[in-house]
A and B are shown apart, each in its own frame.
Chain A
Amino acid sequence: EVQLVESGGGLVQPGGSLRLSCTASGLTFSRYHMTWVRQAPGKGLEWVSFISYSSDNIDYADSVRGRFTISRDNAKNSLYLQMNGLRADDTAVYYCASDLAHKIDWWGQGTLVIVSS
């Protein structure tokens, strides 16, 4: 059974930082591109960031570029999202998801990030 488990969410003040983690099991992690997707309260899903299986191709949504950094450790079957300069509009449930051949096939249950003073 494939599982993606996110962690690291929580309450943070504006301007603060958080590091999200996603641990994968049940799939050959090193063969999958990975993606972060978020959903703000009452809003639709938003693609946030992409990292290729070998980390040589990375991309960000304009809304987070320069503030968020995606990375992965294939030896640990783990994906990360370092979030700096957090703003109120970054408040959302953050999902990690596997990306293969232009489809997102597996998702985690999400971790909630709340940016508030």
Chain B
Amino acid sequence: QSALTQPPSASGSPGQSVTISCTGTSSDVGGYKYVSWYQKHPGKAPKLMIYEVTKRPSGVPDRFSGSKSGNTASLTVSGLQAEDEADYFCSSYAGGNRYAFGTGTEVTVL
């Protein structure tokens, strides 16, 4: 399975919004509702932030939201806070037992 394409970096000032895209194909992102987003801080395990395109696990702030259009999914972080500075990557179910993963985006809070 091929990697999903994300921008390498994104940034915003505190309180602003940042949106990260995740582009795949009809065999992954476009073909299923199972797109997830993860936050990863250095040295820590990735944390699930969004699943099934738009759903937030318990405990994830509603500043984090997801959407999808065609073969591209997006994660928006509104009201940026310093602790949101991290790497973010997407994942999509790709059929069978397989997943495709995004290339990762480093979010900087200016």
Contact = CB atoms under 8 A, between A and B. Distances in A.
B101 A44 contact: yes
A61 B99 CA distance: 10
B5 to A, nearest CB: 10
A102 B34 CA distance: 6
Interface size, A (range) = 20 to 34
Interface residues of B, number: 28
A106 B52 CA distance: 15
A44 B52 contact: no
Interface string B57-101: 100000000000000000000000000000001010110111111
A109 B45 contact: yes
A103 B98 contact: no
Given A44-B103, A50-B98, A59-B96, A109 B43 contact: yes
A16 B94 CA distance: 31
Contacts of A103: 34, 36, 48, 51-52, 91, 93
Contacts of B57: 105
Nearest to B99: A47
A104 B45 contact: no
